[in-house]
Amino acid sequence: MLRAYAPGPDGASCVLVEGDAQALANAVWIDMISPTSEEEKLVESVIGVEVPTRDEMAEIEPSSRLYQEPGGLFLTANLVAGVDSGNPISTAVSFVLTPGRLVTVRYADPKVFELFAAHVDRTPAMCSDATATLINLLDAVVDRLADVLEGVGDDLDNISRSTFRRSKADKQQRMTTVALQVLLARIGAAQDIVSKSRDSAVSLTRAIGFLTYALKKKESGDTRERLRSLSRDLASLTDQTSYLGNNVTFLLDAALGLINIEQNAIIKIFSVAAVIFMPPTLVASIYGMNYEHMPELAWQYGYPLALGLMVLSAILPYSFFKSRGWL
What's the CATH code of the domain at 309?
Answer: 1.20.58.340
- Mark whether 222 and 310 lie in a shared domain: no
Q: What is the pLDDT of residue 327?
A: 65
- Mark whether 146 and 272 lie in a shared domain: no
- Mark whether 218 and 300 lie in a shared domain: no
- What's the burial of 161, exposed, middle or buried (CB within 10 Å: 0-12/13-18/19+)? exposed
Q: What is the pLDDT of residue 173?
A: 61
Please name the helix (run of DSSP H) or strand (run of DSSP E) that holds residue 227, with its range, or none. helix 221-286
- Mark whether 77 and 176 lie in a shared domain: yes
Distance CA 111, CA 27 (A): 22
pLDDT above 90: residue 126: no
- Listed in sequence order, the residues at least 6 apart from 314 whose beta carbon sits closer than 8 Å to its beta carbon are 276, 277, 279, 280
pLDDT above 70: residue 8: no
Q: What is the pLDDT of residue 172?
A: 53
Distance CA 95, CA 141 (A): 12
Q: Is 88 helix (H, G, I), strand (E, B) or coil?
A: coil
Q: What is the pLDDT of residue 217?
A: 67
Distance CA 54, CA 16 (A): 22
Strand partners, 106: 33, 93
Range of the domain at 301: 263-323
- Mark whether 197 and 309 lie in a shared domain: no
pLDDT grade for 12, boundaries at 50, 70 and 90: very low
| Mean pLDDT computed over 133-140 | 91
- Mark whether 121 and 245 lie in a shared domain: yes
- Mark whether 92 and 38 lie in a shared domain: yes
> Average pLDDT of the chain?
83
Segment of 129-138, 254-263, 288-297 carrying the highest mean pLDDT: 129-138
Summarize pLDDT for 86-119 with one digit per residue, the tens. 889 999 999 999 888 899 999 998 999 888 888 8
* C-beta neighbour count of 25 within 10 angstroms: 14
pLDDT above 80: residue 178: yes
- Mark whether 17 and 94 lie in a shared domain: yes
Q: What is the pLDDT of residue 104?
A: 92
What's the CATH code of the domain at 215?
Answer: 3.30.460.20
- Mark whether 165 and 204 lie in a shared domain: yes
Q: How far is CA 13 from the centre of its chain?
A: 35
Summarize pLDDT for 185-215 with one digit per residue, the tens. 899 999 999 999 999 999 999 999 988 888 8
Summarize pLDDT for 269-326 with one digit per residue, the tens. 788 788 888 888 887 887 777 766 777 767 777 778 778 888 888 888 778 777 777 6
Q: Are 28 and 61 in contact (CB under 8 A)?
A: no
- Mark whether 236 and 93 lie in a shared domain: yes
Q: What is the pLDDT of residue 180?
A: 82
Q: Which of 252, 244, 264, 57 is nearest to 174 (CA)?
A: 264
pLDDT grade for 147, boundaries at 50, 70 and 90: very high
Distance CA 198, CA 204 (A): 10
The residue out of 262, 282, 298 marking a domain boundary is: 262
pLDDT above 70: residue 75: yes
The residue out of 262, 283, 305 marking a domain boundary is: 262
Q: What is the pLDDT of residue 16?
A: 46
| Mean pLDDT computed over 206-230 | 83
**Weakest mean pLDDT among 139-143, 150-154, 196-200, 225-229:** 225-229
- Mark whether 276 and 255 lie in a shared domain: no
Q: What is the pLDDT of residue 248?
A: 92
The residue out of 262, 294, 311 marking a domain boundary is: 262
Strand partners, 93: 77, 106
Q: What is the pLDDT of residue 234?
A: 93
Q: Are 28 and 100 in contact (CB under 8 A)?
A: yes
Summarize pLDDT for 17-33 with one digit per residue, the tens. 454 667 777 788 888 89
HSE-CB at 100 with a 13 A cutoff on CA atoms is: 7
Euclidean distance between the first and the last CA atom of the chain, given in angstroms as a whole number: 67
pLDDT above 90: residue 232: yes
- Mark whether 186 and 282 lie in a shared domain: no
Percentage of the chain exceeding pLDDT 70: 88
Alpha helices in 103-176 (DSSP H): 111-122, 130-164, 168-171
Distance CA 317, CA 281 (A): 14
Overall number of domains in the chain: 2
pLDDT grade for 78, boundaries at 50, 70 and 90: very high
